[in-house]
Structure 1
Amino acid sequence: MDSKDNQHKLSWAGILVAIGIIYGDIGTSPLYTMKFIVGDRPITDALVLGGVSCIFWTLTLITSIKYIYLALNADNKGEGGIFALYALVRKFNARWLIYAAIIGCCTLIADGFITPAISVTSAVEGFKLIYPNVPTVLIVFTILTLLFLFQQFGSAVVGKTFGPVMTVWFIMLAVLGGYQLIHNPGVLKALNPHYAWSLVLNYPNGFVLLSAVFLCTTGAEALYSDLGHCGKQNIRMSWIFVKICLLINYFGQAAWLLSERGNYLEDQIPFYAIMPDWFLVPGILVATLATVIASQALISGTFSLINEAMKLKLWPAARVVYPSTSMGQLYVPKMNWTLMVGSIAAVLIFKESAAMEGAYGLAITVNMLMTTSLLVFYFAMAKQSRFRSVLLAIGFFTLEGMFLASNLHKFEHGGWFTVLIAFLYFIPMFIFLKARILRQRHTEFVDLRHYQSMLKDLQEDDTVPKEATNLVYLAVADSKNYIDSNIIYSVFRKRPKRADVYWFVHVETVDSPFASRYKVETIIPKRAFFVSFKLGFKQPHRVSTLFNKVIHDLADSGEIDLTSPYPALQKYSMMSDFKFISLHTWASSDSVISAFERFIILTYRMIKSFSLPTEEMYGLEAANIEIEKVPIQVGPLAKVSIKRERQPVDD
C-alpha cells in the first residue's frame, strides 16, 4: 500500500487535515449568512425560524446528501472535482459533457475572486463594533495582499496549523451558539421543514431570501474537489463534527435574534452579537484567521483547477511552480496575481460585506448545477443506476434551480462581477476547445512503415549535413504505426534532417489522476523509436526529465548506446547529443474556411502568443530545442484559376 493510500485511511490525523483544508469556505459562512437573511427587515419569528430551517435543510440536502454521500462515491481513483468527474464520463462521447465541465470550472474560479474578499471583510468588520472608525477596507487590503504574496513560498509550513486552528474555530462556533440555545431551546422547532416552506411561500419576497440562505452551503464543492487530499472516510467523519458545530451556531444566532423581535439589525452582526463583550477581540482575531485559512484553501483549489485545465488543453499554458513537496502543492504565478487583483478590486468596488452579498452566490449556483448534470450522467451511464440518477435529477435540478432563480436578481446588485469573471474565463476555454477540435479534424497521419527505408537511407547519406546524433520530435500520433504528416514534412521536405537516431515522443493526458507510465516501440532497431507517455491530469508533465530516464533505461538494457559517436568525445565516454524539434502548426492561407473558424484560429493565435511555449510547459526550455512552423490545411484547398499568357511568335 503506497503513501497516498495510507493518507486516505480513516485516522485522527486525516480528519484533522480535512477539517483544516476543505471546510474554510463553508465553515466561515456563519459570519454573514444570518445577517444577510435578516438584512434590513424587521426581526420576526417567521423570518428567523424560516431562515434557520432553510439553512438546516440546505446543509442536509445539498451538502450532506449530494456532496458527502453521492459525489464522494463518484471518485476517479480517489480524486474528485469537476474535471475528475468529467474524466469519468467523457468516454461516453456526449459532447455537452465538456461544456458542463468548462462552465463548472469557470464559475468555481469566479467564486475564488469574491470569497476571500467577502470572508475576510466580514471578519474584520467585527472591529467596527469596538472601534467604529477603523479603516476596514485598508485592513482587508493589507491582509489579502500579504496572503497572495505569500503563495509563492508555499503553504506547507502554515498548512500544518490549519487543522488545529479550524478545529478551535468550529469549537468556538459550537460554544457560542450553544450558550444561546440553552437560554432559548425552543428555536429547535425550526428543524421542522414547515418553517422553511412557510418562509418561501408566505413571507413577503420569501423566495428571494433563498439567495441569502444559499450562502450557507457555498464551499460544498470543496468537499468533493479536495477528495484526493483527504480521502472519502476522513471527509465524511469530519463533516459530522463540522455540521454539528455549524448548526449549533446558526441556531444560536437564531435564538439571539428571537430575543430582538420587532427590532432591526442596523449595525449589529448576529455572529458577533452572541459573543460576550470580553471575548469580542479574541473572537474577531480567530474569525479573521479562519477566513485567511478559508481564502488560502480556495486559492490553492483555483491553482489546481487551472493546472488541470492546462493538462486537458483547455487553458493557455502557464508556468507552474511546486514550492513544496506536499502532495497537491502547486503555485501558478499568473493566476495568483490575477486572483489578487480581482479580490482586491472586489474590496475596493463593494467596500462592505453587505454590498458583496449581491456578487456572491450567483456563479456558484451554476457550478452546482453543472456538477449535478455530470453526476446524473455518471450514475445513469457509468453506474447503470437509472433509478438513482432520476431521483438525483428531479431532486437537485429542482432545488438548485430554485436557488439559481432566487439569485438572478443579484445580477444588477453585484452578481455581474462574478458572472463577468466566469464569462472571461469561459471565452479562452471555448476557443481552445474549438481550436483543438479543428486541429484534430484536419491533422493528417501517414503510415510510418512506408518511410522506414527513407529514414535508413537518409541516416546513411553523408551528403546531407547531420542535424544531431539524436533527433527528438514531439508527436500528436499515439503509436508507431501512424505518424504526423507534419513530422514527415519536417524530416524529408522542408529541410532534410539527418540523424543517427530518430525519436518520436507522444504525451497523452489520461483519466487516471496520477498516472505516470511510458511505452517504447521500436521502429528501426537502435535507429528509430516511438516513446509514448501516459500522464495523469494532476501529474506534472516534466517531459524532459521523464525522457532522460527513458533513454537511460534503454541504455541499461542494451537497446541503445548513449556514448557520443564522435571519436574526440567517445574516448572520454561523453554522452551523445540530443536535439528536440517542436513543430508549431500554422493554418495554411490556402485553406477555405468559414468566418467562425477563421475567428477561432485568429483568437487562438492571439491567446497562444501570451501563453507559455509548449517546450517550456514540457520542461524542454533547457534542452537543445528548435521551434519549427509547419502549415496545415484546416479546410478544403482554395480553388484558383489562372491562365498563362503566351508571347506571340514572330513570323
Structure 2
Amino acid sequence: MEHKNMDKATLAGLLVAMGIIYGDIGTSPLYVMQAIVGTSPINEVSVLGGLSCIFWTLTLQTTIKYVILILRADNKGEGGIFALFALVRRHAKWLTVPAIIGGSALLADGIITPPISVASAIEGLRMIKPDIETVPIIIAILTGLFMFQIFGTNVVGKFFGPIMLVWFSMLGFFGVYWIAQNWTIFKAISPYYAYQLLTSTQNGESGFWILGAVFLCTTGAEALYSDLGHCGRGNIRFSWVFVKICLLLQYFGQGAWLLIHQNELLNGRKPIFELMPGWFLIWGIAVATAAAIIASQALISGSFTLIAEAIRLNFWPKVRLHYPSDQKGQLYVPSMNILLWMGCVGVVLWFKESSNMEAAYGLAITLTMLMTTALMAYYLHIKKFDMWWIVIFIAVYVAIEGSFLIANLRKFVHGGYVSLFIAGLIITLMVIWYRAFIIKMRLTEYVKLSEYIEPLKELSKDMSIPKYATHIVFMSNAARSTEIESKIIYSIFQKRPKRADIYWFVHVDTMDDPYTMEYKVNVIEPDDIIKITFKLGFRVEQKINLYFRKVVEDMVKKGEVDLTSRYESLNKQNVIGDFRFVVLEKFLSYENDLPLVEGLIMKAYFFVKQFTNSEDKWFGLDSSAVKLEKVPLIIRPVENVRLKRVE
C-alpha cells in the first residue's frame, strides 16, 4: 500500500478490507443484545435504551474517533497504537507508558476475541440439536484458522471478503424484515432512551452497569486501526458506511423481535438466530461461523502487525517474521501464532460458554482505547491543532471510555481477571525488554575507528598470525560511521587475533518508514576498512546476507574494492576471497554488582533471550559462514575485592 494511495478506494481493496478488518466489530450482533438483556425479563427500557446506547457508541466511538480522526494518524501507511507511538515518541519519554499498556491490552484481547466469536456462532446449533457438545467443535475451528495463517493475509482477505459481504447483507436483510413489523423501533435513535436506561434501575441495580455489555459493539475499532497498513484509509472509510448501516439494521431488527417478547426470559436464546426462519437457520449458522472465523482473523493479523512494530521499538524479543507474499503489509509471525492459539484454546477450555466469555471480554480493550486517546491527543498537539479542540477531544473520549472502563470493572471477578492477567504478563515482558535495551545502550562503549586504522593495517600484513579470512564482516551496533564498539576491537586484537585483508563493519538501522531500503558506504581505508550502514524499514525482511552481497557487487563494478583472494595461488586464478561474518552475542558476566531491580531485569532478559532467535538468524545470515562469539556484558564490576597474598 503506497502512502500516497492511502485515501484511494478500489473494488478489490474494499473486498479485502471487508475480509480482514470488520470481523470483530461485524460479529458483535451475535452476542451484544443478549448481553444487554441478560438474565432478566425483556423490557422496553432495556431494549430501547440498549439500542440507543449502541447507535451512539458506534457513531461517537467507532465512526468519529476511529474512522474519521484516528485513521489520519498513520505512520507512512501503517496503523495501530505502536505506529501512533512512533509518531510522538521523540517528543516525550512518558508516552512509552500508554504505548506499552495499550499494546499489551490489545494483544491480550486478541486471545479472547476468537473464542467468543466462534463460540457464539457454534452455540446456534443448539436450536437444532439442544444437547450438542460445542467445545470440541470450537477448538477444531480455531486450530484450523491458526494453521491457515501461514498463507498470509492477502490470500485470507480475498477468500474472506466475499463471505463478509454475504454476512453483512444477511444481517441487513433480516434486520429490515423485522423492523418492517415495528417501524417505531427507530425512536431509539434519540439519546433520551440511552439516558433513561443509564439512570434507571434494572433488576435492583443501576442501569449504568449495562454499559459493560454495550461496549462489546465497538471492541473491533482498535483492530480496525491496527490493520490500516493492510487495507488503506480510503478502503476502510468507504466500506465502513455499508458495514455500519447493516449492523444498525440488524441491531434494530433484534430490538423489534425483543419487544414482541416483552416480559419473557431469553434463557440462552440468541436474538440473531431468532430473526431467521427455521428452514434458513442451518445456513445462517454456517455463515455466522464463517464470519466468526474472520473476526478472529482481524485480531490475529492485527497482533502480527503489533509484534513487528514492538520489535522495532525494542518492546519485544527479535522473533522470526515471515512475509508470505511480495505484497506490502503481508506478515506472519510463527511464534505469536502458536502463543495466540494456545491462549485461545485455554480460554475455550476455561470458560466453555460464550456467555461466560462475555465477562472476560472488553475490560482489556477499554484500557487500549484510553491509551490511544492519550497518544492521539499528544499527536494533535504536535500537529498544532487548536488547544480547545484537543481539550474537547480529551474531555469527550475520556468521559465515554472512562464510563466504559468503570462499567467493565464489574467484569473483573466474573472473568475479566483473565484478560488483565494476560495483559499483565505481556506488559512485564515489554517493560523488561525495553529497560534491558536502555541498560545495554548505556553500557555499550564505543571507540573512534580512526584510532585503529594503523593497527588494523599492520595486523593485516602480519604473516606470523594465521589468516582468519580474506574478508571479515562484523555486525555492529554503532550508528555513527566513525565509531565502533570496543568489544569488536577486543575481538579482533585480543580474543583471538583475526587477520584479514579487508575488515567490513555492517550496521543496520531500522527506520520508522515501513519500506525504506537504502544503504551508505564509508570507505575508511581503501582496500582495508569499510563500513556499510543499511537503512531498512521495519516491514523489510532482514536478509543482510543477500543485501550485503548486492552492495559488494555494486562496489566491485565501480572499482571501489578488489575482492580477489590475496592467497598467491588463488590470486593467479582470480578466485574471489572468502567472507566470514562475526556476530557478537552478549551474556551477563558474573563480575557484576548491579542495583537489585536492574539485576533482576537483566537476568529476566537473558533468560527469555535463550528461547528467541540468535542474532545471526535475525539478520538472515548464511549459517555456514558465521562465527557467533560470546562476549561478557560487564555492567558494573564488583569492587573492593579483598584478596590477601600469603608467602
Question: TM-score range, shorter-chain basis?
Answer: over 0.9
2:363 is the counterpart of 1:362: yes
Higher mean alpha-carbon deviation, 250-259 vs 474-483, is at 474-483
Q: 1:441 to 1:384 in 2, by over 3 A?
A: farther
Could you tell me how far apart the structure 2 residues matched to 1:88 and 1:636 are? Answer: 38
The answer to whether the aligner puts 1:30 opposite 2:20 as a matched pair is no
2:3 and 2:77 in contact (8 A); partners too: no
Hey, what's the Cα distance between the residues in 1 that align with 2:624 and 2:532? 18
Partner of 1:476 in structure 2? 477
- Taking only the aligned residue pairs, the percentage that are identical comes to 51
Q: What does residue 271 of structure 2 align with? A: 270
Which residue in the other structure is 2:492 paired with? 491
* 1:40-88 Cα distance to aligned partner (Å, 9 max, x none): 0111111001101111111111101111111111111121111111110
Corresponding residue of 2:448? 447
SS at match of 2:587: strand
Matched, 1:90 2:94: no
What does residue 161 of structure 1 align with?
Answer: 159
**Distance in 2 between the 1:352 and 1:225 partners?**
28
Question: Structure 2 CA distance, aligned partners of 1:411 and 1:494?
Answer: 56
CA contact (8 A) 1:590 1:638 kept: no
Whole-angstrom distance in 2 between the partners of 1:267 and 1:591: 61
Task: For residue 641 of structure 1, report the CA deviation from its aligned partner.
Answer: 4.1
Counterpart residue identity of residue 81, structure 1: G
CA deviations on 1:548-577 (whole Å, 9 max, x unpaired) are: 211111112111122333344445543321
Match of 2:107 among 95, 109, 120: 109
* Greater mean alpha carbon deviation, residues 170-179 or residues 579-588: 579-588
State the match for 1:14 in structure 2. Answer: 13
CA, structure 1 residues 382+633, in 2 after alignment: closer, same or farther (shift >3 Å)?
A: farther
Q: Does 1:350 align with 2:348?
A: no
* Contact 1:320–1:330 (CA under 8 A) maintained in structure 2: yes
Gapped regions of structure 1 (runs ≥ 5): none
SS of equivalent residue, structure 1 residue 209: helix
CA distance in 2, matches of 1:231, 1:166: 18
**SS of residue paired to 2:329:** coil
Please report how far the alpha carbon of residue 637 of structure 1 lies from its aligned counterpart in structure 2 after TM superposition: 5.5
Structure 1 position 484, deviation (Å) = 1.0
Q: Which moved more, 1:626-635 or 1:398-407?
A: 626-635
Q: Is the 8 A contact 1:47 1:203 kept in 2?
A: no
- Other-structure match for 1:324: 325
Which digits, 9 at most, give the CA deviation of each residue in 1:605-647, with x for residues without a partner?
11111111111011114341111122343236623344544x5
What is the aligned partner in structure 1 of residue 372 from structure 2?
A: 371
SS at match of 1:317: coil
Aligned twin of 1:563 = 564
Question: For the Cα contact (< 8 Å) 1:89–1:382, is it kept in 2?
Answer: no
Amino acid at match of 1:72: L
TM-score normalized by the length of structure 2: 0.96
Q: Write the distance in 2 (CA, Å) between the matches of 1:34 and 1:316.
A: 41
Given the alignment, which residue of 172, 183, 187 partners 1:185? 183
Distance in 2, matches of 1:250 and 1:341, equals 33
Farther off after superposition, 142-151 or 2-11: 2-11
Distance 2:154 2:71 in 1: 25
**1:337 aligned partner:** 338
Counterpart Cα distance in 2 of 1:179 and 1:76: 43
Instruction: Answer whether contact 1:580 1:623 (CA < 8 A) is retained.
Output: no
Once residues 24 and 616 of structure 1 are traced to their aligned partners in structure 2, the CA distance between those partners, rounded to angstroms, is: 34
Paired with 1:89 and 1:156, the residues of 2 have a C-alpha distance of: 30
Q: Show the counterpart of 1:42.
A: 41
Q: Secondary structure at the match of 1:261?
A: coil
How do 1:168-247 and structure 2 match up within 5 A?
168-204=166-202, 205-247=206-248
Which residue does 1:597 correspond to in 2? 598
User: Distance in 2 between the 1:385 and 1:543 partners?
Assistant: 45
Give unpaired runs (5+ residues) of structure 2. none
Aligned CA distance change for structure 1 residues 502 and 8 (closer, same or farther; 3 Å): farther
Q: Secondary structure at the match of 2:39?
A: coil
Change (3 A) 1:599 1:213: same
* Residue number in structure 1 paired with 2:68: 69
Amino acid at match of 1:224: Y
Shift in Å, 1:494: 2.1
Aligned-partner Cα distance in 2 for 1:325–1:345? 34
Task: Quote the Cα distance in structure 1 between the aligned partners of 2:56 and 2:327.
Answer: 36
- The alpha-carbon distance between structure 1 residues 12 and 634, as it changes in their structure 2 partners (threshold 3 A), is same
State the distance in 2 between where 1:191 and 1:290 align: 27
Alignment of 1:414-563 (within 5 A): 414-563=415-564
Residues 567 and 208 from structure 1, CA distance in 2 versus in 1: closer, same or farther, beyond 3 angstroms? same
Partners of 1:229 and 1:431 lie apart in 2 by 30
Is contact 1:8–1:14 with CA below 8 Å preserved after alignment? no
In structure 1, what is the Cα distance between the partners aligned to 2:314 and 2:547?
20
Q: Which moved more, 1:303-312 or 1:257-266?
A: 303-312
- 1:147-193 Cα deviation digits (max 9, x unpaired): 12222344543431222111111111111101111111111111111
Aligned to 1:639: 640
Match for 1:168: what amino acid? Answer: V
User: Contact 1:84–1:513 (CA<8 Å) still a contact in 2?
Assistant: no
Partner residue of 2:147? 149
Superposed CA offset, 1:211-263 (max 9, x none): 11000001101221111222112111111111111111111111111111111
Partners of 2:80 and 2:17 in 1: CA distance: 15
370-379 or 619-628, which deviates more: 619-628
Cα offset for 1:463?
Answer: 1.4
Shift of 1:267: 2.6
Q: Which amino acid aligns with 2:309?
A: E
More displaced, 149-158 or 170-179? Answer: 149-158
Aligned to 1:584: 585
Matches within 5 A, 1:304-319: 304-319=305-320
Aligned to 1:467, the other structure's residue is in SS state coil
Q: Write out per-residue CA displacement over residues 448-489 of structure 1, whole angstroms, 9 at most, x where no aligned residue.
A: 111111111111111122111111111111122221111111
> SS where residue 414 of structure 1 aligns?
helix
| Offset, 1:130 | 1.1
CA positional deviation for 1:589: 3.4
Offset of 1:116 from its aligned partner?
A: 0.8
Question: What SS does the aligned partner of 1:453 have?
Answer: helix
Is the CA contact 1:544–1:619 (under 8 Å) kept in the aligned structure 2? yes
Bigger shift: residues 6-15 or 351-360: 6-15
Take 2:5 and 2:366, find their aligned partners in 1: how far apart are those partners? 35
Q: After superposition, what is the alpha-carbon deviation per residue over 1:261-296, rounded to whole angstroms, capped at 9, x for unaligned?
A: 111111311111111222111111111111111212
Q: Distance in 1 between matches of 2:275 and 2:138?
A: 23
Kept in 2, the 8 Å contact 1:137–1:348? The answer is yes
Does 2:285 correspond to 1:284?
A: yes
Q: Return the alpha-carbon distance in structure 2 between the equivalents of residues 589 and 168 of structure 1.
A: 63
Range with bigger deviation, 381-390 or 211-220: 381-390
